[in-house]
Every structure is written in C-alpha cells, then in structure tokens.
Chains A and B, each alone.
Chain A
Amino acid sequence: MTNHWIDIKNADCIMIIGSNAAENHPVSFRWVTKAMEKGAKLINVDPRFTRTSSKADIYAPLRSGADIAFINGVMNYIIENNLYDKDYLVDNTNASFLVNEKFSFKNGLYVGYNKKKKKYDKKYWRYQLDENGIPKVDRTLQNPRCVFQLLRKHLSRYNLDEVSAITGTPKHLLLEVAKIYGATGAKGKSGTIMYAMGTTQHTVGTQNVRSYAMLQLLLGNVGIAGGGINALRGESNVQGSTDMALLFHILPGYLKTPRVEDQSLKQYLEHWTPKSADPKSANWWQHTPKYMVSLLKAFWGEHATKGNQFAYSYMPKVSENYSHITMFEAMYDGKIKGLICMGQNPAVGGPNVRKEKKALEKLDWLVAVDLWETETASFWATPEVDPKKIKTEVFMLPAAASMEKEGSITNSGRWMQWRYQAVHPPGDAKSDLWILDKLAKQLKKLYKKDGGAFAEPIVHLNWNYGPKEEPNVHLVAKEINGYDLVTGKLVPSFGKLKDDGTTSSGNWLYCASYTEKGNMAARRDPRDATNKIGLYPNWSWCWPVNRRIIYNRASCDLKGNPHAPHKYVVKWLADEKKWVGDVPDGGWPPGTRHSFIMKPEGHARLFGFGLADGPFPEHYEPLESPVKNRMSKTQINPVTKVWRGAMNEIGNKKKYPIIATTYRVTEHWQAGQMTRNNAWLVELMPDMFVEMSKSLAKSKRIKHGDRVKIKTARGEITAYAVVTERFQAFKLNGRLYEQVGLPWHFGYKGLAQGFSANILTPHVGDANTMIPEYKAFLCNVEKEV
C-alpha cells in the first residue's frame, strides 16, 4: 500500500476492484465504513456480487480478465471530459515528457516486438533528451509526442460502447463509475483504490495494477490522504517476506539479484545504480552501492572485505527465470532434487496442482515445516498414488504458532509490528527461527569439517544469535537494521549507510526500525500526529523511515502548500523552513526536488517503459477465453510464456464454454492449513462449492445443493452447487457468457475436506511477474449422476 489501512477513512470515493475486502479483509471495511459515514462513495467492480458489493453505492459487474479495458475506458472518459488534474500531471508525472519519434503501436503490438523470442526490444520506448541528457518536456501537454497525447491517443480506442462489449459491464454503469470516480480529480478531493488477487492473478496482472496506478495519477490521487494505490495483501507477513526477498529476482530491500552479466561488484553496481542528469531528481536508487555493500557486510561480516569485493562472489548469479511455475516445471522434469517448504502448501495453493503434486514425486527429499500435516507433506499418501512407488524422503517438522514465539511482522500498510511469546509451542514444535538456526549451524559444521563445493559462503556466513538454545530474535532484528561497524552502534537510519564496508544492514529499508533508542516496532503510543489524519506515527514503525504515506511531496504544490489543507499529509512552514505532518519524502525544501524520488527522472510514469509488455496497458484476453480480442488481432499478452508439453493442456471454448474464477471466503485462509483444522471455522464453512447463476443452473438442470462436476483441460473436481443471483451472465460482443466461481481453500487433509479448485487452473503466468492466471480460465459444469 502507498497509504495504510486507517487512511482509507480520508477518502471521498473508494473503488474496490479485484478485491472482496468485506469478506477477505473484514477489518479493512471498518475504515471504508468510516469514510462512508462521512459521505464517501463506494464503487465495487467484480464479476460476482459479494458482500463488498452489497455495501457499495455502485456495483459494476466485470467479466474476469477485462480490467484493462474497464480502466482504460474510465481513463479515456476522464481525459476527454477534462476531469484530470493537469497541474498534478505536469508537476509529478511524465505526462509532459516527449517520447522517441519511432515509438509506435499497431495491431496490439508496440514497436520492437520479436515474434520468435516473444519479447520486445525496447530501444524506442524512450524519452527524447536535451543536450544535457534531461528529458524534453512540453508543459502545455499539447505536443503530439508528449506522453499525455500518446496516452490520449492510445485510450481513445476504448470508448464506452467498445468497453462494454469487452467487459460485459452495462454502459450506464461504466459512465456512472467514470463520472463519480472522476470527480476525485478535483483539488482537495481524494479517491483510493483497493485491490487484491482479483487484479494480479492474470497474464496481464502487472498491467492491471498499472492501469489503476495511472488512473490515480491522472486524478492526482497519489501521495495524498485518502488516496493511493493500495494492495490488500493476503498473508500476515507477505509484505515482510517480500521485503526480505524470499523471491529469486530480488535481494532484501528490493536490491536486484545479481545476474550472470554482473561478474564483479563494480559491474553489478554500474548495472543497477541508476543515473540522472537532472539536478532536481533525488534519484534515490543512486544509493544502491551503500545498501548493497552494507548487505554483504551483514551476510558475511569480517569476511566481506574491500580486497574480496565484500564477498560479492559468494552471492549466486541468475541467468533466467526461477519463479514458482518454472520451479515446478523443472521439478516435474526431474531437475530439482530437494525442496524445503516453510509453511507453504503448493499441493493445494499452486496452479495446476495435479502437475505440481506429480512434480513432488520426482524429488529425492522434501522438508515441510508447518503447524499441521499438509497435503504437500503427505503428497505420497493420497488415494490416487502408491507410496511404494515414491522414492521421496519426507521430513515433516512441527512449527510454533504466532503466539508461541517472538518477532515482528509487516502488514499491508508497511507497519512493522512486534509480537510477544505468550506460551511455549506444543510438544516438540519449534519456531522457524530455531529450525533455521540449527540447520545453518549444522551446515556450517559439515562444510567446515568436510569441505565441499564452494564451502566459503557457508563457512564464512555471519551467524551469531546468542549462546542460548533459542536464538535471540533481537539480535536478528538489530542485524536487519544495521550497525555502524566503527562505533558498534546501531545505525539510526539508511542515510548513515556507507559503501566502504564501515556499516552493515541486512535490509536498508528496515534501517531505523531498531536503533539505540530501542525496538521501534514495539511502540504503542496511541497519539495521532498534528495533522490528525490517522497516521499514529509512534504506534509500531513503518518503512521507509516511518513514512506512513509515501510519495507525499506530491500532496503539495511546488511551494509546499497542500492541495487538501483540511487533511494535509505534509506542509512546508516557510518561516521555520521545515515540513510538518508525516515524514516527508526527503527534507529538501518544496520545489527543489521532484516528488517521485525513486524514479531517476523524478516523475511517476504514465509511460512505463520498464515493463515487459508495453508502456501503456492494452487489453488482451486471458490464455483461455470464450471470446476473440476485440481490440486487436493479438489474442493474448504477446510476451507471456505459455508452457506446453505434458500436463499443460489448454482448453478451448467449444469444449469448455464457461468462464471460471477462484476466490476466498471469510472463514478460510489461503491453502487451508490454518483454518480447515479449526472446528469453529469448519462448522461455519464445511465444504467445497461452486457458485453459478440461475440461468446456467437452469440450462444444465442443476439445482441448488446438487453435486456437480467441474471440468477443465487440466482436470475434474466435484462440488456442491450454489445457485445464486450473485452471478449473472455477461453480455460480450452481443452474446451471453456464463461465469462460475470456486473457493480454492480445500484439500484432502484437515477437518474440512474437499476438492482443490487448483486442479482446474493452468500453468501460465503474467508476463512480468509470472503470477499464475488463477482468476480467468475455461471450464464446463454438469450435474453428477
């Protein structure tokens, strides 16, 4: 989230799209309700009428997989009807920047597409630069090569009739959404967007999010109270686990994973440290060398020296994509021999789970750490497999629950909050910290004693978390914050980190979280800040540097006057020469630095040349879709990798004419371990079901409560039919298409058992992130006889 949960109360209009906040983040709705009590409007866009929809002023049904068409249509309306915030665009975004003359778009493809490689050469996706290397601008936004005019041209194809034929959203509702949400473009008004996996789990997931962010920029809604682009993240610490980089492509604090081209530390830093010729650009990532060297010092301590490039060679180098789907494809092909699963249950939660379970059978060994016996740990004991034919050695380790250990987690609003140990874990169960500590020490011992392939990174690993049986979690938290290695003191903030090896920090973004003043995440001061917008600056701590609303310089004009004085985030006191309110995005006086400090050009990108699939969002159909793409002959995202071969069948609309999507229910959580073993919750939500419209049920002679089969090209499941008004057929291209919905929590372990919806989902992912396309695929349903 750019903003945070409480800040939702400051919005004048809230658009919840691709999220069912009322059911899946129920307490977030407390703040939606507070806003509505003050007169805010709620818009909900979703294929299904949910409990969120039931509270909305406008419910706009949207066929799964058509978000870009929807948002592009809304943006087109906003531009053509002058609802956008022009001053904001010019001051804060690249709207006025001129783009290379050779940049173009035709037949659903941007210039530079290589059909064979399914990849873009992005050399023309660039700004025009002046003689000093600074992007040329036209602050009137009239130049036909400026981003604003190129965007306007791109969006002009998305008129509301066209959009309605793609999305299935009735035109009058599109118009209403565009007008009401567009009204937040007025000065002093704010609109917020709340989204979740309904947005991201598509082959165009990244561009879906981008389209929302662009809409927010057009309306001047980023950096302000009651605004922002707000991901409702689903797991209690999925923000923290991302920050700590349990992902192949990043290192802690969003530093880039070294690539094979980055052979030396010098090459790495040259490659990944952005440069800017613009003196008004803060270009924050220019500090990359300080953060990277400090990270290497945290990892390898005294063994990271100037002489050995701070042990840079110890860090593995990647040359391809190693994301979830790729991992399971490699496992299926026998290339992965061992897997360590820390509280994840891919046998329920992964896409195309029949294939992912088959892949587990190819492992020599599997370690599964969890509170419960999961479908993943016991994949060899399912009815359809013969354990005597499965070679895998499996270790199932009992883990401690959240109240049985001490440490911090980071919520969606970036608040790092400390938890205390209340009781000991049951039986032999141990904290993950204990397990990792024991394992690391044993590996260090083994490699020290026997040597082995490149033993140095393990033997030299900086690993000292106290003399006790349970590692000291405070020592770990302090290492993450970082030290001044000369004085031995904790560094007060990332401004003090250096690239000469005299500082360490396990994650520069968490610098200032645990300082000589104490553990900031444990703070419980209930007082609000002077601007009284619900920042609670001394309750817990948030990254970066306790800034509760990021990009907040954009909430003011170039003199530091807030656009919304009644709910200002920051403001400049000219007499005292200081900012008050939230922690500003840098303390420089107003107008001396551009507001989007993380971008080398200092401006938010309406034209986003960093993405794999285009600088503007363009509608493409999901991999499996019942309709042809109306916008161009390019049917699916042209740079998405489509896996073929064994167990990767793709369904066609003839055999599988019905759109399907997956979702969650309030009473269960993710792959189910934490709720399907809980009697109270199981009583509330006992079994697997499929939700469908009355018209579909009628045509298939299905009654509410019948057992039905749901089939896709990947597999077949059975579930109870829930026949409901909540789904209605969508009118696309003048024809009606049905959609069904399936909760994905179930499996064959636990108190509540049922078929996993992910037996049905495909192994295909977003072109940028490889997040699986769980939210739009094709199926058929029939009554079980």
Chain B
Amino acid sequence: MKLSRRGFLKVTGAATTGALLGNFAFNRKSSEAYAQTLRTRYAEESTTICPYCAVGCGMIVSVSRGKVINIEGDPDHPINQGSLCSKGSALFQVANNDRRMTKVLYRAPYSDRWEEKSWDWTISRIAENIKKTRDANWVGKDSKGRVVNRVEAIGALGGAALDNEECYLWSKLARALGIVYLEHQARI
C-alpha cells in the first residue's frame, strides 16, 4: 500500500500506541504536499494538540536530529483544519527556548539564591518533608470522634496544564496522602 504523507503519519502514530485503529491513507493535493515538503523534508513528524486554550487544535511537530524544527497546524484536524492563533503559532518557542528550566533548583530557608540539586536528592527531600508534615499534622478523627483520615497542613495546587494521566495519578496520590486542600485552575 502506498501511503501519502498524512497516511504515513497516522500509521506511525498508531504503531506507537500498539494498536492499529482503522486505516486511513489520504490523498492530499500534490501541490499542498509539495509546499509542505519543502520546509520539513527530512524531518520526522508527529501529531500533538495545542497546550494553550481548550479548543484543542491539532498540530504537526517536525523533528530533525532531536530538535523541533517546525510546528504548524494539522490540516487534517477537523476542529482547526490547519489554522492556529498567535499563541499556537508560537509554540515553537516553547520547544526551543533558552529560558526553559533545565535543572532542579533549590532555595534553602533564609537563603537569597537558588542552588542546583540532583533529582535523587530532591525527590528524597520532598518525600521526607511531605512525610514529616503529614505525620505531625495527621487528623485521624475529628473532635466528635468521627473518622476523617486527612491532613490539612499540606496544599496541592494545579493540574490544568497536565495530561489526563498525570492528573489522574496526582488525584490518586493526593487522596492516598489524605490531602483535602486539593485545588487547581478550574476553581479560579
């Protein structure tokens, strides 16, 4: 079977999921395919969804030698049909940005600066802090003797920028810890 560029994209995408859902190879107009080939000729492509507002526009990310070299609207996506707004069009600068955080930073109590730390040290230290605060402030029963099993001394905030699977794990872990101050952008 001869695959068009979009068809190829679909198949590589589906193969990643480990399940092939139908098979749709599309025939784009040759001029369109040519125009788009110019910019990203040797790139690997994958699809994504815009991380800004909740319209959920489809995008194509082109990667060469491990770097994002282009992001554009996905013409096959039924919602945006290739179009993007100014923010979506600028997503390239999120993928390629010197201002991105690339190290774990730590600010000690009363310090006036950040210092770099390793992930191992940081994860252990955060877990110790959570455990210490949780154990010291645990409320097993309320003043009337009713079981509440909660901790009110730890707050959890945020998640609207996370993937569903990440939200789910956070929701699950926070509940296991007994956290009740569990909130995010949807509230405000």
| B108 within 8 Å of A (CB atoms) | yes
List of B residues within 8 angstroms of A316 by Cβ: 148-151, 175, 178-180
| B4 within 8 Å of A (CB atoms) | no
Please report the C-alpha to C-alpha distance between residue A172 and residue B34 in the assembled complex, in whole angstroms.
54
Which A483-535 residues have a C-beta within 8 angstroms of B?
A: 506-507, 510, 517-520, 522-526, 534
User: Is the Cβ of A454 less than 8 Å from the Cβ of B149?
Assistant: yes
Please report the C-alpha to C-alpha distance between residue A345 and residue B151 in the assembled complex, in whole angstroms.
23
Which B128-160 residues have a C-beta within 8 angstroms of A?
A: 128-131, 133-135, 137-138, 140, 142, 146-160
List of A residues within 8 angstroms of B55 by Cβ: 5, 25, 27-28, 411-412
Q: Which residue of B lies closest to A349 (CB)?
A: B188
| B169 within 8 Å of A (CB atoms) | yes
User: Is the Cβ of A403 less than 8 Å from the Cβ of B61?
Assistant: yes
Q: Which residue of B lies closest to A387 (CB)?
A: B112
User: Is the Cβ of A403 less than 8 Å from the Cβ of B48?
Assistant: yes
Interface size band for B: 35 or more
User: Is the Cβ of B154 less than 8 Å from the Cβ of A518?
Assistant: no
Q: Tell me the smallest distance from the CB of A346 to a CB of chain B, in Å.
A: 7
User: Is the Cβ of A236 less than 8 Å from the Cβ of B170?
Assistant: no
User: Is the Cβ of A6 less than 8 Å from the Cβ of B79?
Assistant: yes
Which A300-356 residues have a C-beta within 8 angstroms of B?
A: 313-319, 322-324, 326-327, 330-331, 335-344, 346, 349-351
- Report B94-120 CB contacts with A as 1/0, cut-off 8 Å: 110101111111111111101000010
| B86 within 8 Å of A (CB atoms) | yes
List of B residues within 8 angstroms of A365 by Cβ: 126, 129, 133
Using known A-B contacts A410-B164, A446-B127, determine if residue A681 contacts B86 with beta carbons closer than 8 Å.
yes
Q: Which residue of B lies closest to A479 (CB)?
A: B168
User: Is the Cβ of B155 less than 8 Å from the Cβ of A426?
Assistant: no
Please report the C-alpha to C-alpha distance between residue A74 and residue B21 in the assembled complex, in whole angstroms.
48
User: Is the Cβ of B176 less than 8 Å from the Cβ of A428?
Assistant: no
List of A residues within 8 angstroms of B84 by Cβ: 27
Pick from A251, A474, A772: contact of B188, CB below 8 A.
A772
User: Is the Cβ of A336 less than 8 Å from the Cβ of B188?
Assistant: no
List of A residues within 8 angstroms of B79 by Cβ: 5-6, 27, 411
Q: Which residue of B lies closest to A420 (CB)?
A: B46
Which A242-271 residues have a C-beta within 8 angstroms of B?
A: 242-248, 251-252, 260, 263
List of A residues within 8 angstroms of B99 by Cβ: 372, 677, 750-751
Among the 9-residue stretches A123-131, A282-290, A388-396, the one with 4 or more Cβ atoms under 8 Å from chain B is: A388-396
| A26 within 8 Å of B (CB atoms) | yes
List of A residues within 8 angstroms of B100 by Cβ: 371-372, 398, 401, 426-427, 429, 677
List of A residues within 8 angstroms of B176 by Cβ: 299, 314, 457-458, 461
| B42 within 8 Å of A (CB atoms) | no
List of B residues within 8 angstroms of A407 by Cβ: 163-166
User: Is the Cβ of A409 less than 8 Å from the Cβ of B187?
Assistant: no
User: Is the Cβ of B182 less than 8 Å from the Cβ of A473?
Assistant: no
Which B29-61 residues have a C-beta within 8 angstroms of A?
A: 44, 46-58, 61
Using known A-B contacts A240-B164, A447-B131, determine if residue A339 contacts B49 with beta carbons closer than 8 Å.
no
User: Is the Cβ of A771 less than 8 Å from the Cβ of B187?
Assistant: yes
User: Is the Cβ of B128 less than 8 Å from the Cβ of A446?
Assistant: yes
Which A423-444 residues have a C-beta within 8 angstroms of B?
A: 423-424, 426-433, 435-440, 442-443
List of B residues within 8 angstroms of A340 by Cβ: 154-157
| A452 within 8 Å of B (CB atoms) | yes
| A453 within 8 Å of B (CB atoms) | yes
Pick from B53, B88, B123, B159: contact of A246, CB below 8 A.
B159
Q: Tell me the smallest distance from the CB of A8 to a CB of chain B, in Å.
A: 11
| A625 within 8 Å of B (CB atoms) | no
| A235 within 8 Å of B (CB atoms) | yes
Pick from A239, A373, A675, A772: contact of B101, CB below 8 A.
A373
User: Is the Cβ of B165 less than 8 Å from the Cβ of A473?
Assistant: yes
List of A residues within 8 angstroms of B87 by Cβ: 666-669, 674-675, 681
Q: Tell me the smallest distance from the CB of B70 to a CB of chain A, in Å.
A: 11
User: Is the Cβ of B163 less than 8 Å from the Cβ of A405?
Assistant: yes
List of A residues within 8 angstroms of B148 by Cβ: 260, 316-319
List of A residues within 8 angstroms of B157 by Cβ: 324, 327, 339-342, 344, 346
B interface residue numbers (CB < 8 A to A): 10, 13-14, 16-22, 24, 26, 44, 46-58, 61, 63, 66-68, 71, 76, 78-81, 83-88, 90-91, 93-95, 97, 99-112, 114, 119, 122-131, 133-135, 137-138, 140, 142, 146-188
Closest 8 CB pairs of A and B: A427-B102, A411-B56, A518-B19, A407-B163, A344-B158, A453-B138, A398-B101, A342-B158
Can you name 20 extra interface pairs (CB under 8 A) apart from A316-B151, A536-B78? A233-B53, A238-B54, A248-B180, A248-B181, A316-B178, A336-B181, A338-B154, A339-B154, A343-B160, A370-B101, A389-B110, A407-B165, A429-B100, A431-B166, A452-B135, A518-B17, A524-B76, A674-B87, A675-B90, A769-B187
